[in-house]
Structure formats: structure tokens, C-alpha cells
Copies of this chain bind each other. A is one copy, B any other.
Amino acid sequence: MTDVAREVGVTAKTVSRVLNDDGPVAAETRRRVMEAVRRLGYQPNLMARNTRVGARDAAIGLVVPELGNPFFGTVAGGVEGAVRARGLTLIVGSSDETAGHEQALIATFLARRVSALMVVPAADGDHRHLRAERVAGLPIVFLDRPAAGLTADCVVSANREGARAGVAHLIAHGHRRIGFVGDLPAALYTRRERLQGYRDALDAAGLPFDRALVETGHDLEAAARATLRLLALPDPPTALFAGNNLASMGAVVALTRAGRKDVALVGFDDLPLAEALDPPLTAVAQDPAAVGAAAAGLVLARLDGDRSRARRVTVPTRLIVRGSGELPPRTI
């Protein structure tokens, strides 16, 4: 910046004024500064700008469990769009679903003095350590899953209600033994909520809850094995409810491998190829981009000075009926 100033014959302060549209600058000076900036290829140093007291970086930190999972990718995309419109930069990091990595990422984001923090908490995360930051006024919003040990803004899908609707759909088609293929770990918020929705639907229909019908797998192959275990039970389910996108894919793959096109299936989370499957997959569709956008909206409101108390936003889900959920129960 000093170089640019020297080139034009003014002080760094004047250059700063030009670049920030701050204070009066003669049109001619402005022109010459701009020209020198271009000629020298000068780029302001954002790091230095932010050393001044209390200054915050024009970046927002987002922590997701896995970058490779399209669900979180789409969430991040939703956040990015909303945030970019405000001239803020989104910094994304992946916690690998590990509390340790999550804390490390949050620490580097804080050290960078991001102006807000958005977190999809790892299953075993703990966010009490963020209380001080929250009190200090840093906007913190949790996505997809609420914070552990901290009252904070939060945007989640209608997990319980969505799962209830999906399972009720199976019950309405005559099923009485319905398997649940869920996420690992069992303590994961989304899994607990969806399992609760599953139980709600059973209760409403007067059906018993059978712990043996709940199986678990944390990736596609594990979910496929979980599905096969359910099918191998002495009194197997005639329908399955899959608790997330990987579980859905695992269940589809397992049913295909086992040649069991007669088992009804409803998945939580829609899949791009849902309609191309045989039978086409009935799904409880989430709207991950909307979750991201809603969270970004909350953050921006907080940045604009909204000091109201922590809010929880629930993004609705939608049951998409395609065929796999309407198969009649068939005893083997």
C-alpha cells in the first residue's frame, strides 16, 4: 500500500480512503490511485486489516462432518449462496465426524476471527466451550443437529415428523412389522429423532415396538449388512424404513443383492436416482439447501444486530410416493 502511495505521491491513508470509499477524495487523486493499484497489481492484505481491536474477518466458518457426503455438500452450497450475496466469504472445513477434529477446526476459525460460526456438530461433540464466544456476541448457528450443552440458534429438518409420516405410510399399506435401518452412532441426534418418529407411528397404530427390528450401519456397506440381518430374522419385517441417505442406499443395494423386490421400503432423504430404481424409491425428502439457506439467514440477521434469544428453525420434509413404499406386505 505504501508502494502505491509513493507511486502516486500521496500517503497510505489516502490510498486506504480510495479503496474503502471512506472520506472525501478528489476525483483526480482517486483515478491515479486506482491506476497505480492496477499497474502494481496491489492487493490489500486482509489479515492486517483485521488486527485492529475487535475487528472481525469478513469470513464465516462452516464445519461439516464430511465433505464427501452430498447431503452436507448441498447444505454448504445453500449457505454459500446466501452468504456470498452479502460479500462474505465462506470457509468450510470437515470434522470427519470427530469431536477432536471439530474442536480443532473451530479453534482455527476463532483464531482467524471469523465473523460467525456455523456448525454441523459431530455426533460426540460438546459445545460448552463456545459459551464465552456466544456471550461475547459471536453469531453461532448449528445446522442439521443441535448443539450439545449450549443454547444457540439451530436449523434442523422435521426429522421426527418426517419419519412418522414415512412409517405411517407403510402402516397404511398394511405393514405391521417394519424394520428400521439407522445411522451410527445411536446417540446421533438425527437418528434418535427419526427413531422416535418411527415409534410415534407404531404407537399411533397400536403396533408394538420390537427392538430386534432396529439395525444400524454407518456407511453404505454396513447399512446393507444391517438390512440383510433384518431379513434373516425368524420373524422378518415386510417393510423397511431407512434413517438417512446412506442407509437408504444400503437398503436398496441389499434388497437388490438378495433379489427381494417384495420388501417395501421408505427412505429418509431423497436420492437422485430414486425414480430409476425397481421399484422406484418412496422417500421422505429433506431440503438440504433450504437448511443451509435458513441457517445463513439466521447468521446474517445476527450480524445485523438481532439480539433476540436463540431460535430453532425446523425445515419441513415431504413424502414423495413412488412405489417402493406401496408394496403390500408379503409373508415369506
* Size bracket, chain A contacts: 35 or more
- On whether the beta carbons of A45 and B51 are closer than 8 Å, the reply is yes
Instruction: Give the CA-CA distance A41 to B271 in the complex, in Å.
Output: 44
- B89 contacts A90, CB within 8 Å? no
From A43, A84, A90, A111, name the one whose CB has the most chain B CB atoms within 10 angstroms: A111
When all copies of this chain in the complex are counted, the total is: 2
Produce 1/0 per residue, A266-287, CB < 8 A to B. 0000011101111000000000
- Contact check, A93 vs B70: say whether CB atoms are below 8 A apart: no
Contact with B along A56-76 (1 / 0, CB 8 A): 010100000011111011101
Interface-forming stretch among A155-163, A204-212, A248-256? A248-256
CA distance in complex: A72, B72 (Å): 12
A80 contacts the other chain (CB 8 A) = yes
Give the residue of B80, B220, B276 whose beta carbon is less than 8 angstroms from that of A253.
Answer: B276
**Closest beta carbon of chain B to A72's beta carbon, Å:** 8
Let me know if B80 and A93 touch, CB within 8 A. Answer: yes
Given contacts A67-B73, A253-B276, A257-B275, 6 further A-B contacts (CB under 8 A): A45-B111, A47-B50, A249-B272, A256-B275, A256-B276, A277-B278
Question: Could you give 27 example pairs across A and B, Cβ below 8 Å?
Answer: A41-B132, A46-B112, A46-B113, A47-B57, A47-B111, A47-B112, A47-B113, A67-B67, A67-B80, A67-B92, A68-B73, A70-B70, A76-B92, A76-B94, A80-B93, A89-B93, A89-B108, A90-B94, A91-B92, A220-B272, A249-B272, A249-B273, A256-B275, A276-B277, A277-B277, A277-B278, A278-B278
